[in-house]
Structure 1
């Protein structure tokens, strides 16, 4: 019943025989072409998105490295200076103790 209705509609517009086959083939070709274009567009958008994410990650890493370096500079430099001072005092105290032990 549905086929009869489709045949009537196609016959009404003059699509018979080879013309009908050509119409169906053209519609299928257009569909495949559209699928290929959409797939290619989707792939290009994915590549653009990946490159944008990569740029953002690189920028974040760069900013974090700068923050870490400045924080290390603020924290480690005073600590090393204090350790150096303590080491010098300990060296002097050890030298004085050795001198006292050698004198006696």
Structure 2
């Protein structure tokens, strides 16, 4: 990812990658991103149910991931619908799924 770039560009890329990885470094957040990929426009309540979280906990995770530019929300009346913001995020999640599928814990 960073090979062959100038050290300055590499550092900037490493900082951004670290921010991203820190933001998704929770099993609940990974599940929530997967849920948003599988059901674009999922609501907070639907997300909580799919991921086995309270609505309050789901809301806190969703707020953090929106702040970190992982997800974005669109208001629909009183509901907010959540979507994955960047295709790169989807690519990384697919790569993680592939890397860890069929692995023994």
Tell me the TM-score normalised to structure 2 length: 0.24
Q: Determine which structure has the larger strand proportion and give its number.
A: 2
More helix by share: 1
Q: Which has the higher contact order (CA 8 A, sep 6+)?
A: 2
- The structure with the largest alpha-carbon Rg is 1
TM-score with structure 1 setting the length: 0.24
